[in-house]
Structure 1
Amino acid sequence: VIGGMNAASVGVVKDGKFLGLAQDQKQGDEATQAWLVNTAKVAFPLARIADALLNPGKTIDANGAKITYPKIDFIYWVGGNPIVHHQDTNTNIKAWRKPRTIVVNEIYWTPTAKMADIVFPTTTEYERNDITMSGDYSNMHIIPMKQVVAKQHGAKDDYQIFTDLCKAYADGLAEVYTDGGKTEMDWIKEFYEGAASAVNANTALGIQMPSFEQWWEKNEPTEFYETPESAAYVSFEDFRNDPVLEALGTPSGLIEIYSDTIAAMNYKDCGAHPMWFEPVEWLGMKDKPAKFHLLSLHPLDRLHSQQSNTSNRKRYAVAGREPVLINTEDAKELGIKQGDMVRVYNARGEILAGANVSDDIMRGVVQIFEGAWYDPNAEGLCKNGNPNVLTIDL
């Protein structure tokens, strides 16, 4: 299998030789076709990963279908830090002990890397050549990313790691994966020239991109400017002007406040229109399991868990831990003062945090930003203050 994310990129290997992509195989190859059908049946939401690992063979409802979890014996994780970002950390760790083998591509010694059986050390953006853009929505720049230092301590680019794995896995697979042996610079040039061809053919953009060689040598971003057409853009304007010929991609072609599709699923916890459902845990419960409601917002000083292990942490840490925002009156009742190290706990786990005492949060609520790297002691108490030790799983 090359990759199971979708059938279009699934490869067929027999007797150590790569035969091609599954969709290119003859319809008469019943084994391949059956494999594709069965693969589609066992795809499940990523948020269910711990549940799936702990309960192979369990059947769940998802988007109107029944899905039965497979037995997962091998995980290859590239990009991400699931031991930090997935809820109910202690349950998640139990789940990650189930597969026979876990492989991770990583730059840093993250909590997820520590849980892996095999770690492939990968390069940072400083150790490789690459191409990127700025502005997720504006697409304002195309930027060359030149290697500035040699690869450190045996680290390899992800591309090289995948290529080496292909060579080891099956004859002919690396040739397909690299599209005939393309190097990283071949891909960078191809991506740039594809963009340049489209841009230079569109005079309305008012820009001519230089040749790849000139752009790479100059080592400066190519900037794109707002056109009169983009400045006047109105979302869904075509639909508003002609809702019949410019229908939306919904079953009715209209903006749906009530969904017949969802209604037909008959889910008790997902109505056909927006409505309030009582959370599993909240302040309005008759028998609250704890005194405080936890909010775990996106952090102000980092992107999720990125930079949680750097000197940047000193800018916001309290008592050397992730801050917990607590109401002044609540803190007074508990004898907590600004800057105190406190233990935050529930039935699922416990963490250390630094107290930020404030009137900016209501009574009965505490806030801890998500993303602190999980760092447990021998008893499982997270010394850094990762709130997912406390949050509930599905």
Structure 2
Amino acid sequence: MGLHPKGYDLSLDRITRLLDILGNPQNKLPPVIHVAGTNGKGSVTAFCRALLEAGGYSVHVHTSPHLVNWHERYRIGVNGSRGELVDDAVFAEVLRRIADANGGEKITVFEILTAATFILFAEHPADAAVIEVGLGGRFDATNVISEPAVSVIMPISLDHQPYLGDRVELIAAEKAGIMKAGRPVVIGHQDHDAALDVLVSTAERLRCPTAVFGQDFSAHEEYGRLVYQDEFGLGDLPLPRLPGRHQYANAAAAIRAVKAAGFVVTETMMEKAMISVEWPGRLQRLTEGELLPYAPEGAEIWVDGGHNPGAGEVIAEAMASFEERQPRPLFLIIGMINTKDPLGYFKAFTGLAEKVYCVPIRGSEAMIDPVILANSAYDAGLVAEPMLTVRQALDEIRELAVPNMPAPRILIGGSLYLVGDVLADNGTPPK
């Protein structure tokens, strides 16, 4: 991080040159499920992994960013078992090889980490690899995979506008860049018709076999069960372990994607995946750890790294559904970085949250000052106050707790960086 640029420099020239020197490991991978999207790509990646592992397949998984430790980005498939995060010594040795091959040429941190993905996944045998796009799609460093088993495009909304464009159709065009001629495409639920039109027309132009959510496959809740349907049949499944109604569509996209990638998916696999799937830092409830004593006794603490208006909407919907089942006052502890839209995020919680505590993100030069962030929350119609730390905010919420009334529900989020700090401080990093 000290040696290389921290920002984005979207181009494939540097990564292509580097991979050529390394022997083009990206061409030696098991079948690849390549996942892009503004929101939901991490969840669909987790569902794909859970499905494949439920069938006894070994699965490599690449995600970004990490929450606490760098090696979280690489899960190495294990035959007949769940994959394991890459060993630090193995990861370090691969980084040394990449540094030697690069020879001091200009390169970004994400390009180095992507090259590590391809080396690790090429040199460890597995049945499949699920690779999450970092930013955009067309010029993302992962987009050197020439023949993915399937390309998956999850919900598209406004985010990273300086790099991807300020309209959803422009962002959709960038995400559609991971589609390859004649290779299968799965398009997840889309809130914007303009984005869907771009994705479908691109797939048609490239003559990709295409499955679209709501048209070729679907999922909905019925009598406390998840009903999944596609052209191959219908599945009556447990509700996903990941909370929130938005996860129904994410689960459906994963099921259809794994089928499109050429794997047989049984009802037993789907059932097992729904109850075993895990995705840290996304509507994750903290049930143990060092931060819990700072909150009111009996409080629920949730963390979620969603940071754009689209994510704010699905997180707020999940909080509202929790409220319907078990009413509790909702408090937000939020930190964000300056490339995001805090007003758009906060608007989703208007009328739902009692109060927002705005906090800094440790060690981030790009964080939004808590006072400015609190002003954005105020502009969205929320009561807001800046705080110095998450612990201080938890202390304040504890002071406000009313005896003999329901303990509060607390959501900590607005940034994956903040969630990573919280999981580290809580002593519960991803495993």
| TM-score normalised by structure 2 residue count | 0.25
Q: Which has the larger radius of gyration?
A: 1
Structure number with greater CO (CA < 8 Å, separation at least 6) is: 2
> Per residue, is there more helix in 1 or in 2?
2
